Structure 1
Amino acid sequence: MTSAKSLPTRAHAVIIGGGVIGTSVAYHLTKLGLTDVVLIEQGQLSSGTTWHAAGLVGQLRASEGMTRLVQYSTTLYSELEAETGLSAGYKQCGGVTVARTEDRMEQLRRTAANAAAFDLDCRLLTPAEAADHYPVMRTDDLVGAIWLPADGKANPTDLTFALAKGARMRGARIVEKTRVLDVTTADGAVTGVRTDAGDIEADIVVNCAGQWAKQVAAMVGANVPLHSAEHFYVVSESIAGVHPDLPILRDPDGYTYFKEEVGGLVIGGFEPEAKPWVSPDAIPYPFEFQLLEEDWEHFEILMNSALLRIPALETTGIKKFYNGPESFTPDNQFILGEAPECRNFFVGAGFNSVGIATAGGAGRALAEWIVEGAPTTDLTGVDIRRFAPFNGNNRWLHDRVAEVLGIHYEIPWPNREMTTARPFRRSPVHHLLEAAGANFGSKMGWERANFFAPDGQAPVIEYTWDAPNWLVWSAAEQASTRNAVTVFDQTSFSKYLVVGRDAEAALQWLCTADVAVPIGKAVYTGMLNARGTYEADVTVTRTGAQEFLVVSGAASTERDKDHVRRNLPSAHADAHIVDVTSAYAVFGVMGPRSRDLLAALTDADLSDAAFGFGTSRLLSLGYATVRATRITYVGELGWELYVPTEFAVGVYEDLMRVGADYGVARGGYYALESLRLEKGYRAFGRELSPSESPVEAGLLFACKLGTDIDFLGRAAVEEARRRGPTRKLAGFRVESGDPMLWGGELVLRNGVVAGQATSAAWGETTGACVGLAYLRAPDGSVVDADWVRAGDYEISVGSRRYPISVSLRPLYDPAGERIRR
């Protein structure tokens, strides 16, 4: 290792943190040819959190992208010794996950279907078969299990040193016992780091500081929301029948996992209610190879479960109790990417107990982002831009992390909501929705109505894989929208103004559709990256000669703003984005009687001739003046009302008071989901992401390819169209009304795996569950409309298959007649 005395004065990239993530980034940067790299560690390599990691490497993740990321990790770990001469201590031993309840077993069946979709070996087991794989466990209380033969384990310290050596072999310098005191900046970009051994100029700084990452980010005014929690495991004495090839065992109903170590077992887990550690701003220094005090009382729930599952532990001693603090994020996903607050400041942190499994893939992904200037794959779920500054509030993080650690092993119920640190962000009419029986979900901190319970019924979610308790209430909201009129509070929409002399030119470059429209016209459009895949899905309304209103989903605020700022057609363009999300409430007034309701509150002509689809204008509504845009996300006649916040309560009260004469109902986001799926409308983050192009998504109609106007990603879209898609988005309806779908279910064509449902929900109008899915051919060939129509389709729900009808046109009102009345 390089000593602090020989600290260089300049490097192209400086990495802060010498754990498994920092060394992986260094390894992959040098592998990509960026060799002028310095890694700085305040203690010794792996001495922060990495050294006491359990080292589990489970390949199957909730999404294909994250599964592929871990698969790359395992390949890398198995090859490191041949490259560097140092072993990562990686061993493929397989993994068994057991179920104590039928609800858990249903989850495991769905997990096995995910594995089939990702072409990963996963087998359902009976309790007896599970015992064959793991003879030392008790099985008489089990319902079943799954077997993942590709799972493995690694030695965290060995892995870190192997990655570090690989980086050094290609020119990286690693400096230990050196503390970063500050990250310097100029004109909104990093310029270097200041350490206790001298300063280093740098073009790029990478924050891989583990539980110190929030403090390091604050040096440049960036937001890295994470908070440490105490995390526990013990190591037992030797146990008869425990050997190095014993698989990893996970017993999530008992919150526990087991891994062989020197003839004994590592016994750890994720207790339902965690213990947050000190504030992120108060983590001590030095804190090198240190543990916290033992807490057997807190560990008791895990130990009791372990004694139940492994009876031999009753007579086996414990060699060591580990209580090592580890940082967690508010949503249980790690953080990667370039901070929107500071150019060339990258972050890889908050790995939520999956750092060893994901380090290889995450290090490569972040290194590619640094070298290419943008992500090369879909990293939406872990992108740093999914958080806003308010997510960095330490008190909020403290309370949220106590829940986050515990959900690792909870059943991942459909639509599961976090319960801690809420309510958080509230619409101006939140109290009115609450009084009307709303059940609230959370999105980007916003409290949003999921559904409304009728009088006398509690607005709670009873979690289940089957038809839920709230379905009948949501179905009534769907029926009201199709037959009368429903008001939806959609205040959580992200809302921005793009203003300036070059605003039109900037949006023409950023948007797939032609937005050079007259004032008062709204346009549906995507925003792409250079690869021709989606970065945003928005509506752009021209509100002035040099002003446009851009409306996006609630979760996309920070990434949308960052995307626009980074991709202006010129560094000198007079175009500026202003976040006005909190300035306006939004009410969707949707249904065939929406015109009647609004007409009772305004003198304006709302006829189709005077106020056609896509029209947007200021409107006197009751005593208020609002922006009314005729648009829909449910497939019915309707308007979105953009109401200044201070007028929101009055407008909402007027809508409900006057609407009583027209059969008005309140609607929640569960009904919106069902209605949009019947209509085949896409959603960013599910049908649209950096993995999909307009060609695959069936959205070429929203691309100005018939003009000579260039836009970001156009060349890639044209090339994708020329080649033809290898997968295609289609809508589907289950032919039986019995099964309940939630999204993620396996789709089969002619009995062969063809994709997964990106979204699914009950469709009251169609009388069955509906959804969207990308369909692909098993040989990777071009998928066209004839191929889609020629197949016979089924969907796997748990262990049962149901026939589905598939369509490339909307299932409901395919001609779009109802929205243009």
Structure 2
Amino acid sequence: MSSTLEKGSTPATGSTSENRPHSPRVVVVGAGIVGCSLADELTARGWTDVTVLEQGPLATPGGSTSHAPGLVFQTSPSKTLAEFAKYTVEKFLSLDVDGVPCFHQVGGLELATTPERLAELHRRAGYAAAWGIGGEVVSTARCKELWPLLDESVVLGGLHTPDDGLARALLASHAQMERAIRRGARFLERHTVTGIEKEDGRVTAVVTDQGTFPADHVVSAAGFWGPVIGRMAGIDVPLQPLAHQYAKTEPLPGQGGATTEAPKPILRFQDRDLYFREHTEEEGGALRIGIGSYAHRPMPVDPFAILPYDEARARNMDMPSSFPFTEEDWAPSWEDCRRLLPSLREAEIEEGFNGVFSFTPDGMPVLGESRQLRGFWLAEAVWVTHSAGVARAVAEWMVDGRPSLDLHECDLTRFEDAQRSPSYIRERGSQQFVEVYDVIHPLQPMERPRPLRVSPFYARQQQLGAYFLEGGGWERPHWYEANAPLVDTLDALPERDAWSARHWSPIAAAEARATREKVALYDMTPLRRLEVSGPGALDFLNRMTTNNLRKKPGSVTYTLLLDETGGVRSDLTVARLAPDRFQVGANSPADLDRLTRYAPDDVHIRDITSGTCCVGVWGPLARDLVQPLTRDDFSHEAFGYFRAKETYLGHVPVTAMRLSYVGELGWELYTTADLGLRLWDTLWEAGQGLGVVAAGRSAFNSLRLEKGYRAWGTDMTDEHNPYEAGVGFAVRTDKEFVGREALTDAPPTRRLTPLLLDDPAAVVLGKEPVYAPTLDSARAGGAPIGAPAGYVTSASYGYTLGRCIAYAWLPAGLTTGTGVHIAYFGEKVPATVAEEPLFDPKMTRIRR
């Protein structure tokens, strides 16, 4: 298990459940909804020595849970967040306190008052269908039926999700607290944490003003106090608290009399950054409307300046998380409320406050165990919506060694060092607040702070008119305006709809064609590179990954990093440059974290990404470009596919690897960052007579999908095993490796399946639901029916093929030629299961 193994040990090769330690000592900091949910989940799994510490009273701890309005909308672009929310609804529906339910499944209604928002609701309905959440886009009349107070003249339609609803967060906390206590947990109020003790890189105890609590594991579930607890442990927690306005109206004349707390769905008016819920008094049923607003200016709060519970009360604050209501920020939203709900035009706000809660730079939770301090866990930046789902995942992670859901979007290691500065966290957290209800395109980059990380080629890319998007802080060219004249040489491309045309240009098609016909330079610098060296490097890497790495220096191997249950944690490209020195192409900081955790003392691992750079040179003329620059033989016979060589190109020392992620002849060329510009200029000058172009990631993605090359984190994660993901060729079962015992010979029940859209003008972008015939009806030539059979992962137009390509997780029995439908903005787009690879199946273009 990751939580118990020390440096130098090896993760188990199969399931770890029978080896789990008996009830280690766990201290959870914070008795809000996350801390209470986690105590319940841990004790249910047999870890009963759990102590939950709370600085305030347990009845109302004073954090975000104590003031949360309780809205639970399950639909999200993130499958992980949707799964968290689905479990939260399922669990809270089963909870009550003295017969009072912890969840009111009143449904949810999201309104559209603009055509753009209505289109967005169709897209969100697609997410709901893809993730197994009930929902449909409904008419204006139906919106009026669900919320009679609406002015239907401003509403174009809505998304109705009947399984959403209202969580009573404090009540759900208490219900789970009581269950955990019955199993042996203890909850201690008015215990303020003052320190975290550690020894030899492991957490040993939590110090409070009421005493010290020994611990094998400490979980920070402190909400917006997370950075404070993290600092005590020597851990940076990338979290920014912000204040958010919430108000209640006075009782509305002529309304009320309902016997339930919230008879109408929870309501979102996202075009004005507002949401609404009903509050009905226990006696008399007087109706008030609760209103939350994200429309105001961001109001970041220093977590180190938030008062403890008792001091906040002494200053006449209801709780530390409840700041005074700022009328001037509320005024514009109040006018928007009155336009949408005419019954509010004669009403007034009776009470309001600015409630503090947490945002991260990317809007996702921060979960997992710290590499710097073993046994110290984070469960932070979690809203009520996702609380029980997060708690289950973290409990699984702690007890079983892995969560049952893919958590790479939430992993605390995901942020780069450049994304951890206080100013970055504050700026990006504030922007996440602004964008909560914005219509966000999948490719939409952040606006600030940019540029943050640039490759050595950045100046040349600017001169060529690069259109930059951002990822991991890196500026990444997606196409180059200098290539615009090449568009005139293409056959006419199908016209795109407005959504798919965002952050796209037909220049990408020209760059893809230039790569297929001539030669192109691709900036591959943002790809993560690790150097693994030392006497034990070969044995270590061979044990950690699936493929055979016992090859001579100069070899390159595609291999997989699995978890103990056989899930694909990452895919790696490992180049053996010397007997005890390897360069590993990885995906994320989590790969570095995984390898570093288990590396023995005779293995040294360092991230060399920032000090190096890479140019991909690909196309049928790639050898014509590179060979004149070096004395080494770059012929196919002397420098075969999946080989590496350290050499010189002109004046520049390079590590050349004969790899291709685009399906064409070529090399990845690595050098140090200080020589990067010289490398680019050398290649650019040498390629002028060959028609060389600079090409961007838009063309790159199209070309890699034509070859069926998987993208980890998008096409496959640790929820998938290698065989169903289509990368079983990288598994050698005749050797020992982590996860081997968990792999079986049973045929997969699902597969990552290539689809070609039937209409040459149709496109999809990813995460759309796919409707397929049942296996019986497919054999009989039947049409797609019923609920979605799966969802799209990656999609891009294949310019060589003249069709949009979509990869999707679908039942394994669907054969080539089977017809399916992909829901795109509410329309069913026909597609056909295809045979892969779609382009150059015999690999003749790469191996020449």
Q: TM-score by structure 1 length?
A: 0.92
The partner residue of 2:70 within 42, 50, 55 is 55
Q: Which of 63, 72, 76 pairs up with 2:91?
A: 76
**CA shift digits 1:473-528 (9 cap, x unpaired):** 21121111111111111111111111121111111111111111110111111110
Aligned mate of 1:713, from 739, 758, 762: 739
Deviation of 1:634 after TM superposition, in Å, equals 0.7
Contact 1:746/1:755 (<8 A) preserved:
yes
Equivalent residues of 1:762, 1:770 under 8 A apart: yes
The letter for the 2-side match of 1:323 is: N
Residue 488 of structure 1 corresponds to 522
CA separation in 2, counterparts of 1:170 and 1:503? 45
Q: Which whole-Å CA distance do the structure 2 matches of 1:68 and 1:42 have between them?
A: 31
Q: Helix, strand or coil: the match of 2:449?
A: coil
Instruction: Find 2:263's aligned residue among 245, 251, 254.
Output: 245
- Aligned residue identity for 1:562: D
Matched, 1:547 2:581: yes
Whichever residue aligns with residue 295 of structure 1, its letter is: T
* Displacement of 1:273: 4.8
Determine the C-alpha separation between the residues in 2 that align with 1:74 and 1:238: 29
Aligned twin of 2:771: 748
Question: Offset of 1:283 from its aligned partner?
Answer: 3.4
1:170, CA displacement in angstroms?
A: 1.5
Q: Does 1:259 align with 2:277?
A: yes
Q: Post-superposition shift, 1:267? A: 0.8
Q: 1:613 to 1:301 in 2, by over 3 A?
A: farther
Query: 1:96, 1:794 → 2: CA distance?
Result: 26
Partner of residue 640 from structure 2, selected from 600, 612, 617: 612
Matched, 1:583 2:616: no
1:275 counterpart residue number: 299
Aligned residues: 783
In structure 1, the partner of 2:554 is 520
Q: Distance in 2 between matches of 1:807 and 1:287?
A: 63
Alignment partners' CA distance in 1, 2:238 and 2:497: 28
**Aligned residue type for 1:496:** L
Paired with 2:580 and 2:463, the residues of 1 have a C-alpha distance of: 42
Q: What does residue 510 of structure 1 align with? A: 544
Does structure 1 retain, via aligned residues, the 8 Å contact 2:483–2:510? no
Structure-1 residue corresponding to 2:401: 373
Q: What CA deviation, in whole Å up to 9, does each residue of 1:679-732 have, x standing for no partner?
A: 111001111201111110111111112x2x111111222x1xx22111011212
In structure 2, the residue matched to 1:4 is: none
* 1:329 is the counterpart of 2:342: no
Q: Which residue of 2 aligns with 1:191?
A: 204
Q: Which residue in the other structure is 1:316 paired with?
A: 347
CA pair 646-86 structure 1, distance change in 2 beyond 3 A: farther
Distance between the aligned counterparts of 1:552 and 1:374, measured in 2?
Answer: 20
Q: Could you tell me which amino acid in structure 2 is paired with residue 66 of structure 1?
A: L
Q: Cα offset for 1:456?
A: 9.6
Q: Does 1:598 align with 2:626?
A: yes
Kindly report which structure 2 residues correspond to 1:136-285, keeping only aligned pairs within 5 A, or say none.
136-239=149-252, 240-241=254-255, 243=258, 244-262=262-280, 263-271=287-295, 273-278=297-302, 280-285=303-308
Go from structure 1 to structure 2 and tell me whether the alpha carbon gap of 1:87 and 1:576 turns closer, same or farther (over 3 Å shift): farther
CA deviation digits over 1:609-635, x for unaligned, max 9?
Answer: 111111111121111111010101111
1:321: how far off?
A: 1.3
Q: Secondary structure at the match of 1:562?
A: helix
Structure-2 residue corresponding to 1:7: none
**Whole-angstrom distance in 2 between the partners of 1:504 and 1:177:** 52
SS at match of 2:506: helix
**Rounded Cα–Cα distance in structure 2 between residues aligned with 1:808 and 1:330:** 40
Q: Equivalent residue of 1:471, what SS?
A: coil
**Structure-2 separation of matches of 1:317 and 1:584:** 61
User: Matched residues in 2 for 1:190 and 1:673: separation?
Assistant: 44
1:300 corresponds to 2:331: yes
| 1:673 counterpart = 2:701 | yes
- Structure 1 residues 121 and 11: alpha-carbon distance in aligned structure 2, compared to 1, 3 A threshold: closer
Q: Shift in Å at residue 412 of structure 1?
A: 2.4
Match of 2:447 in 1: 419
Change (3 A) 1:73 1:738: same
Judge conservation of contact 1:23–1:160 (CA < 8 Å) in 2. Answer: yes
SS in 1 for 2:323: coil
Give the drift of 1:274.
1.9
Deviation string, structure 1 residues 240-287 (Cα, Å, up to 9, x no partner): 446531111111111111111121111113227522223x44434444
CA–CA distance in 1 between the matches of 2:116 and 2:803?
23
| Alignment match, 1:38 | 51
Aligned partner of 1:397 in structure 2 is 425
Question: Which digits, 9 at most, give the CA deviation of each residue in 1:574-597, with x for residues without a partner?
Answer: 223211111211111111111111
Q: Paired residue for 2:794, among 759, 762, 769?
A: 759
Structure 2 SS opposite 1:431: helix
Separation in 2 of the partners of 1:642 and 1:108?
45
Deviation at 1:463, TM superposition (A): 11
For structure 2, the residue ranges without an aligned partner over 5 or more in a row are 1-22, 281-286, 314-318, 486-495, 773-782
Rounded to whole Å, the distance in 1 between the matches of 2:296 and 2:468 is: 22
| 359, 364, 369: which one aligns with 2:387 | 359
Paired position in structure 1 for 2:15 = none
Q: 1:466 aligns with which of 482, 500, 504?
A: 500
Answering whether residue 761 of structure 2 is matched by residue 730 of structure 1, we say no
> Does the 8 A contact of 1:100 with 1:144 survive in 2?
yes
Alpha carbons 1:729, 1:808 under 8 Å: kept:
no
Structure 1 residue 794, shift from structure 2 partner: 2.3
State the secondary structure of the residue aligned to 1:723. Answer: coil
- Cα deviation per residue 1:204-247 (whole Å; 9 max; x = unaligned)? 00001111111211222223201111111111122344653111
The letter of the residue matching 2:738 is L
Aligned-residue offset at 1:387:
1.7
- For each residue in 1:16-57, what CA deviation from the matched residue of structure 2 results, as whole angstroms up to 9, or x when unmatched? 112111111111111111111111111223312211111101
2:10 corresponds in structure 1 to: none
Unaligned runs of 5+ residues in structure 1 are: 1-9, 777-782
Aligned in 2, Cα 1:313/1:455: closer, same or farther, shift over 3 Å? farther
Aligned to 1:5: none
- The answer on 1:408 being equivalent to 2:431 is no
Q: Supply the distance in 1 between the matched residues of 2:347 and 2:516 (Cα, whole angstroms).
A: 65
Counterpart in 2 of 1:533?
Answer: 567
Report the 3-state secondary structure (helix = DSSP H, G, I; strand = E; otherwise coil) of the residue aligned with 1:757. Answer: strand
- Compared with structure 1, are the counterparts of its residues 169 and 18 closer, same or farther at alpha carbon in structure 2 (3 Å cutoff)? same
1:752-772 per-residue CA deviation (whole Å, 9 max, x = no partner) reads 332111011122112221121
Asked if the contact 1:273/1:403 (under 8 Å) is kept, the reply is no
Give CA deviations for 1:87-137 in whole Å, capped at 9, x if unaligned.
453211011111122222222222222322333221220111111111111
Aligned-pair RMSD on alpha carbons? Answer: 2.0
Q: How does 1:637-676 map to 2 (within 5 A)?
A: 637-676=665-704
One-letter amino acid matched to 1:712: V
For 1:414 and 1:507, the matched residues in 2 are separated by 35
Q: Distance in 2 between matches of 1:161 and 1:196?
A: 24
State the shift of 1:375 in Å.
Answer: 2.3
Aligned to 1:6: none
**Alpha carbons 2:817, 2:832 under 8 Å: kept:** no
Contact 1:413 1:464 (C-alpha < 8 Å) held by counterparts: no
Match in the other structure for 1:704: 732
Amino acid across the alignment from 2:504: W
Per the normalisation by structure 2, the TM-score is 0.89
749-758 vs 696-705, which moves further: 749-758
